[in-house]
Structures are given as structure tokens and as C-alpha cells.
Structure 1
Amino acid sequence: MAYSFPEEVLEHVFSFIQCDKDRNAVSLVCKSWREIERCCRRRIFVGNCYAVNPKIMIGRFPEVRSVELKGKPHFADYNLVPEGWGGYAYPWIAAMAGAYPLLEEIRLKRMVITDEALELISRSFKNFKILVLHSCEGFSTDGLSAIAAYCSNQLGDPSFCVTSDEAKPRLDSAYTG
């Protein structure tokens, strides 16, 4: 006969485990721990946007509040990736828009994010607080305006940080509410 702690106790214990590696290890102990961990996971990191399908992530982790996605490999920063290679954020944003209405934070790195994707973000997540675009491309001030116009009504005045370096101009944006 197997004995286990009640689910409520395990959920409370799991809430103190912050390290992704530790959470992954906990989910491997047994099926019931995996199920509890999947329901209480609030933050997801995807190091390669092509390594997993967004629908699989959504099915595995239904209560996510924060998502960090990386698109193109690091050497894309040095123009070593062909134009139009990929790293598109829209399929991820569209999938998350229907599944995570309480999403609060999106961090994207080296991804192609369109103005339409930014507008979808601005209208889909009612508790949205943080948007970080690091070395991203494909958007304009129209997309940022959609974020500022819609999200500022809910969360106050958004702030954007624009930086560039001589080697490769880029727009790094941080929206915090």
C-alpha cells in the first residue's frame, strides 16, 4: 500500500520550489506528483521555440502566468542566420491567447513578433503586466502603441526602453505595469 500526502499539502510544498530543474525532478517522482506539479506550475521557460509545440505546453501546464520563449540561436545576433529563418512568435501568442487568459508576463528573445501579435497580446490577457522583447524583430511602433493604448487603461502608464548598438540596431522593450 502506498501512502502519500494530500494534494493540498503537496501543492503548498511545490509552491516553494522555484528552480526549474528542481520542479522537473519533482515531477519525475511519481504520476500523482507529476499531475500536481503540472497544475501548480506558473512559470514556463522554452529555450527553443521549435523544441515543443505550443499546444503540448498548454496541455501539460494549464495554469501558467509567465512564459519566456527563445527563438533564433545566439549566433543570429551576428547576422549568421539566413533572412526569414524563423523564430515566429505569432503561433505561440495565438495559442496562449485562448488558453491563458490570466497570463501576466511574456518574455521573448530573438523572435519575430509582428504588430498583429502585439495587438493580440494587448487584447487577450486581462491581467497582463510585463512584456520584454530582447533582440526581437518584425514589429513597429504601431504594435507598441497597441500595447501602450490597451494595457495602460488597465495598469497605468507603461514604460518602454529603446536601445541600440552600432553593430546591429535593435529595439529592446520592457513593459511593466
Structure 2
Amino acid sequence: MSARGHCILSHGFESGPAATKVAALAEIAQQVGWSEERPDYTDLDARTDISSLGDVHARVERLHALALRAADRGPLVLAGSSLGAWISGQVSLRVPVRGLFLMAPPTRMGDAPPLQAADVPVSIVHGWHDELIQAMAVVEWARARSATLLLVDDEHRLADHVDASAQAFGRLLDSLGR
């Protein structure tokens, strides 16, 4: 593990560990002195669970196991996009984390519990025109936690704001110090 800490970057549904956004976050983490890993959940996407989003419980358990191992070695930050953001929030309640970075986080997801998160610094990037998750729901969720929130002129995939997302992640990591 690096001197500063470790980041676990979780991709969204029907995505993968080499996805553009999590790859950009990984690059920023390395640049500012944090180690990173990107779990692969693609084997779980075909299994059904909450709202046909794959095996959500198995994603949570996979991230939980990785986070437990990483938290024993030093500061840990969880980051995720969409479903990856939701599972990061859930796992943050079970493992000590220094911060959370959530991109296009679903505040509600079918029959699943609402988005929850540990009481740690949270930074969020969300698109005003997200076709899956209403921006105002994310604004309210962020307001209730005094989270840092960057709203951008984009849709759910945040394809036009990959660099802005990575820079926001870098700011969160810098703010956490040691």
C-alpha cells in the first residue's frame, strides 16, 4: 500500500474495471500517491437480484471482503459509479473508510435500501440530465450530509465529464491528507 492510502474503485452495472471513469480515477489516485484497485463485478451482472441489476448482494459482499483487507493496512477511500457508488456507500457502513467518492449515485434503487453512507467526507459528481437518477434527489441526499457536490451538464454516464470527475476525486484525496 502507498504511503497515503488505498482506493477501491467500483464500476457500475454493465461496465467493467477498465471503464473510462474508473480508469481515470485510478490514474489520479496514483498521481497523488494513493494505491488503487478495481474489482471486477462483471461475472455478477447476469445474475438477478434487486431490479434486475445483477447480484447486488454479491457485489456488496465482494467489496466488503476487499475493503476489510485494505482497511487493516491504512487509510481507505471507496469510490464508485452508479451501482458501484451505491455498494460503496453500503460497505462504508461496515468498514472504516476515510472518504467516499460517488458518481451518479442512485439514492433509491428498486426494493433495495436507500443509499446510505458512513459519516465521512463525501464528494459526489452527478449530471443535471441524468435519465436514471433525478438530480434533485442527489442534491437532497448531499445536502443532508453536507457533501461536496459537483453538478454537471451531462447524463448518467457522465461521458462529457470524465476529466472533471477525476479532478474532483483528486481534490477529495488531497483533502484527506494523512
TM-score range, shorter chain: 0.3 to 0.5
Q: Work out which of the two has the higher radius of gyration on C-alpha atoms and give 1 or 2.
A: 1
* Bigger relative contact order (CA 8 A; separation at least 6): 2
TM-score by length of 2: 0.37
TM-score by length of 1: 0.37
